[in-house]
Amino acid sequence: MTKIVLASSSTYRQDLLKKLGLEFEAVSPRVVETPGFDESPDNQALRLAKEKAAAAAPRFPESLIIGSDQVAVLNGRQLVKPMTRDNAIRQLRESSGQRVAFYTAVSVLHTTTGEMKTDIDRCAVYFRSLDDREIERYVDRERPFDCAGGFKSEGLGIVLFEKFEGEDPNALVGLPLIRLARLLTSFGIRVV
């Protein structure tokens, strides 16, 4: 059986991949996640997903390597992981009453053949109008400092939304499982 490798140190992506019930190994791809000059969000997410899979390839011959990346955009500006309480509060204030677009790309590289297949999920979150008190309570309760946009949709962050538009809510967490399952199936991996 072909070994499956997730080129990600994200515990969120690892937890999502576990949902498929496949055995896999997770490794850090050691890729610098900076946007290219004048690069669109979807192109950036696709490029970085490919780079992550390719970066792990030399360590895993005869494997399928999964790379994924996500870019969040608010009013034409890319949101990053806030890393601090103050930054998370600031990002959520800016997102209050707004639409945030998420581009989550996935790439699967077959290291034996060199074939790589990619796909991208595009979704959007519409935030409710949030007051400072609820933002601060949310941030203090969930501490979403390592999440793009400063929230965890798989947790309490879901109550910050007015609505979600998209095909796969898993993509919002960081790994589009519907698209990934299709890619894995195309490489002969039985998901079900």
Out of 15, 69, 132, 146, which one is annotated catalytic? 69
Q: What angle do CA 32, 61, 115 make, to 5 degrees?
A: 75
Strand locations in 41-174 (E)? 63-74, 77-79, 99-110, 116-127, 161-165
The residues with which 74 forms a beta bridge, in sequence order, are: 77, 100
* 132 is a catalytic site residue: no
Amino acid letter for position 137: R
- Asked if residue 179 lies in contact with residue 18, where contact means CB atoms within 8 angstroms, the answer is no
Residue identified by tokens 């895993």 is 60
Strand duo 63-74 + 25-27: pairing: unpaired
Q: What is the DSSP letter of 51?
A: H
**Catalytic site positions:** 69
